Chain A
Amino acid sequence: MFHALVAVKQVPDTTNIRIDPETGNLVREGVPAIMNPYDAHALASAVEWKRKLGGKVTVVSMGPLSFTVTIREAVELGADVGYLVTDRKFAGADTLATSYVLAQVIQMIHEKEPIDVLFFGKQAIDGDTAQVGPGVAVRLDLPIITYAVKIRDIDLAKRQIIVERKTERWTEVVEAPLPALVTCEKEIAEVPFAPLPDLIRSLRYEPEVLTVDNTGIFDAESIGVRGSPTVVFKMGTPPLPEPGEKINSREVGVEAAVAAAFAKAEAAGILTSVLGGVK
């Protein structure tokens, strides 16, 4: 029996975030919350392997109660069980404190039902740090394979996984012993349309809620603000540079506008060096 664990995060759809031009503040209203897209692909891969090998997919998410919808979405996509790790004491966690909480929960689940493969998205689109996956692997002392684009094989008898990972240079084929942690690119699997029974089940699904008190597995010094070495010092919109000259081609004509722009580039010593290099 195959047991996959998938870590999922709810994120604001950052492509829809806007800054209020008057106040410079983030406009959060109307920004839809979605499952982090890389996590959705990681989950899809876990579900594919569950269908091949037989077994179970467990989902874990850390966040406020509103993340329940994301766990329901995971059930819709084929997850069997979902844990929501939620507590006010986790507030203000940076990636180090987050990896601690996830690692503790995963260890607890693993002791009840041993996990073969941990699937993470390669990064979350709101923070883009790509630190939590490696952090959890280090804390659990597991081999990690990041930027996975394809899982070639999971062999439960030989206790090994073979994964293709893409780097800037090449694709590596990596073999690692199980249990292993894989962080996934979108190519790892297509997110499927939910089958009707899963869809119906997801609507009423209630995740198992884990808190500091009901688990007793968290050290108070390692969670939330206290467990986070980094703090936000300040936030702001970046200072605007002096804008350059703007030429309106509708007024001066297209050719004159282009000639004026290139003349400026030439005066800056750019154009000659660029064209000099063109063979």
Chain B
Amino acid sequence: MSARRFWVFIEQEEGKAHPVSWELLGVASRLASEVKEEADAAGDTVHVECILLGNQVEHIAHEAIKYGAERVYLVDEPELEHYRNCPYYKCIVGVVRKYEPEVFLIGATTLGRDLAGAVATSLRTGLTADCTGLEMGEVKGSKQRLLLATRPAFGGNIMATILCRQSRPQMSSVRPRVFPMPPYNPEAVGEIVREEVPLDEKDTEACILEFIRDQAESVDIEYADVIVSGGRGLGTPEGFKLIEELAHELGGVVGASRPCVDAGWISYAHQVGQSGRTVRPKLYIAAGISGALQHKVGMQNSDFIIAINSDPNAPIFDVADVGIVGDLFQVIPAMIKEIKARKEALA
């Protein structure tokens, strides 16, 4: 009889958790349920747990429990006030070695990617980056189900399913918004276990001298409710003015496909897709985007997708709930007019 632990790294900065942590707790709960039957039969127990690092962040541990964690391992130290690679990865490796989780999920944010590679290398285990699909599946030659991690490969043109037979934990990083938020249960109870990991002076040698908060535009497309995205079909950078106008009418933000960003028509912060951001708004409007796989994996989980393209065979129509075949320079102005009329009717 053994304990099979499914772990999530809870990412926080300035005392605030990144929502990808909760999305991953939802995934960990599902993965745990996928091995429940097999574990029961073998007399094993299954646990959904997480690890949290920071300085005075116990309040986040309570939140984690409400999003589905049975147990939170908490390392709470002044040295961990701000994220730094070395002290963070060494603490995590210390706690992982103690409890030996079977699966360990980390958000593929800039912080999570910086961390995940260091943790996996230090533990000499496998790490699959930017997964878009995760399940516990049966694999020939393995008594227990293994983590099947699916991710786009070759610039997002093909999907590869990766597994890690022997080394543990089986690690994956997952981008924000790839998976939905799990339910929040205010009544949930769980345990907080405080851990201490001794650090050497050398581990904290790299230090942050200052933080520069950018004054320039910051676009939060990941958690936007409405996104209007433009692609090569816009023809020129000026085409984005029309996209902006429609986004503004809908209270949304502007997205873009990779070719527009590569061509310098709009900044990288707007890029939707495997090499940009993954999004799942309520409404996604794709205008003049042909729909390369690498774009589709970044937006196909949107609640409702409207695609506009002059080519009736454009692959974007395959993921759209409704497609309009036509000239976007006619369709979008008509949309703006229609939205204005509907808003007036609502007012």
> Which residue numbers of A lie inside 8 Å of B, CB to CB?
12, 14-15, 17-19, 26, 94-96, 99, 125-135, 137-139, 143-147, 162, 164, 166-177, 180, 228-238, 240-241, 243-250, 254-255, 257-262, 264-265, 268, 270-271, 273-279
Contacts and interface: CB of A to CB of B under 8 A. Distances in A.
Q: Tell me whether chain A's interface is mostly helix, strand or loop, or mixed.
A: mixed
A247 to B, nearest CB: 5
A175 B209 CA distance: 7
A279 B89 CA distance: 44
Contacts of A249: 324-327, 330-331
A168 B159 contact: no
5 contacts: A15-B259, A17-B155, A131-B113, A258-B338, A265-B322
B322 A230 contact: no
B283 A171 contact: no
A95 B304 contact: no
Contacts of B208: 172-175
Contacts of A17: 154-155, 157
A94 B330 CA distance: 49
Contact of B325 (A137, A250, A270): A250
B113 A244 contact: no
Interface stretch (B24-32, B33-41, B160-168, B178-186): B160-168
Contacts of B206: 143, 145, 174-177, 180
Given A249-B326, A270-B303, A130 B129 contact: yes
Contacts of B305: 244
A130 B214 contact: no
Given A169-B13, A238-B293, A245 B323 contact: yes
Interface residues of B, number: 90
Contacts of A234: 160-161
A275 to B, nearest CB: 6
Given A125-B155, A171-B212, A231 B124 contact: no
B55 interface: no
List 7 tightest A-B contacts by C-beta distance, closest first: A14-B155, A249-B326, A134-B117, A229-B126, A230-B126, A131-B117, A278-B251
A248 B117 contact: no
A265 B139 CA distance: 41
B320 interface: yes
Contacts of A231: 162-165
B59 interface: no
A34 to B, nearest CB: 12
A247 B323 contact: yes
Contacts of B162: 230-233
Which residue, of A162, A237, A274, has the highest number of chain B Cβ atoms within 10 A?
A274
B318 interface: yes
B325 A230 contact: no
Contacts of B303: 268, 270
Contacts of B122: 138
Contacts of A174: 206-209
A258 B324 contact: yes
Contacts of B318: 240-241, 243
B86 interface: yes
Given A138-B122, A244-B305, 14 more contacts: A125-B275, A130-B129, A172-B212, A232-B161, A233-B161, A234-B161, A243-B323, A244-B323, A246-B317, A247-B323, A249-B324, A258-B338, A262-B342, A276-B346
Contact of A244 (B250, B322, B338): B322
A133 to B, nearest CB: 7
Contacts of A137: 85, 118
Nearest to A152: B209
Contacts of A270: 282-283, 303-304
Contact of B251 (A144, A172, A248, A277): A277
Contacts of A128: 129-130, 155, 274-275
B334 A255 contact: yes
A274 B226 contact: yes
* Interface-centre pick from B116, B155, B325 (highest chain A CB count, 10 A): B155
Nearest to A186: B268
A137 B119 CA distance: 11
B2 interface: no
A260 B305 CA distance: 14
A245 B13 contact: no
B213 interface: yes
Interface in B20-62: none
Contact of B159 (A130, A139, A164, A235): A235
Contacts of B154: 12, 14, 17, 26, 126
B324 A274 contact: no
Contact of B117 (A95, A143, A244): A95
Contacts of B127: 95-96, 129, 131, 230
Contact of A230 (B128, B312, B319): B128
Given A238-B159, A238-B293, A168 B121 contact: no
